[in-house]
Structure 1
């Protein structure tokens, strides 16, 4: 009978250790240089540069010849904006421009924005985060309105908070 009690105790301790390691692993994946997206289509992760100053947001991905697959740029505004619009002036790479609200929920996507095009691509009202990735990836992955983004920059309103 003593061995059953010991076995049960060992199993509970082992389970607690595994849960602790899993929680640490999940928390460790929420980093400044990565975003995670999830929706009914599944999940995806991108390595990102964060543009969170006026100067870095103004420059964005302009003047670059390529963007590695699995990479992107996350634009972070200090609060939801009255109106956000991007354009492709001096941008050489076709991009998907993903506009999100203060909770990190996708509201709109400008698919395959055309390099050098100066046409404004509006994201709408209440946009606080914008993710740029290689053109065509959003559709191929299934990213659409309602998709949730997780990143440390998203505050207490996060639909998918960092833990």
Structure 2
């Protein structure tokens, strides 16, 4: 009986996993991120981590909603010039370009949904955090703000 139940759970796992894959959904690891703004405010975010090539390529494509305190962090492994785009992304986003030490260097605010225009980092960065469009300004997050927690996978 135990082997039948175990087999049923294994089958359910594969059905759910394959169903998500065929639906175009990707499951990301999640964790907490904290950004300290230059006025002393601290902003807690729930982040999804895109660290592999496949995860970074998929990103937030196809998402039509995202909670206001959520975002996605892209880790490129090393500091380099980064280029992003909005292809297949229906949400306007703020892209925070972050250096190796966690300092936000530039922000591309309210990026245009579905655009194939290249959005450059304007210098070497290791990370990009995407938030809902307009959220960085609403929180007072700008260049010089710092990610003090959550750059690495939990």
Give the TM-score of the pair, scaled to structure 1. 0.71
Give the Cα–Cα distance (whole angstroms) in 1 for the partners of residues 106 and 59 of structure 2.
19
SS at match of 2:56: helix
Unaligned runs of 5+ in 1: 1-31, 155-163
Give aligned pairs, total. 122
Consecutive aligned runs of 4 or more in structure 1 exceeding 2 Å deviation: 150-154
Unaligned runs of 5+ in 2: 1-29
Give the TM-score of the pair, scaled to structure 2. 0.75
Q: Which residue of 1 aligns with 2:72?
A: 73
Residues 116 and 80 of structure 1, relative CA distance in 2, 3 Å threshold: same
Note the C-alpha offset of 1:85: 1.3
SS at match of 1:133: strand
Per-residue CA distance 1:49-105 (angstroms, 9 max, x = gap): 000111100110001111111000010111101x11111000010100000000010
Q: Which residue of 2 aligns with 1:129?
A: 127
Higher gyration radius (CA): 1
Give the Cα–Cα distance (whole angstroms) in 2 for the partners of residues 75 and 34 of structure 1.
14
Give the Cα–Cα distance (whole angstroms) in 1 for the partners of residues 85 and 77 of structure 2.
20
| Coordinate RMSD, CA, aligned | 1.2
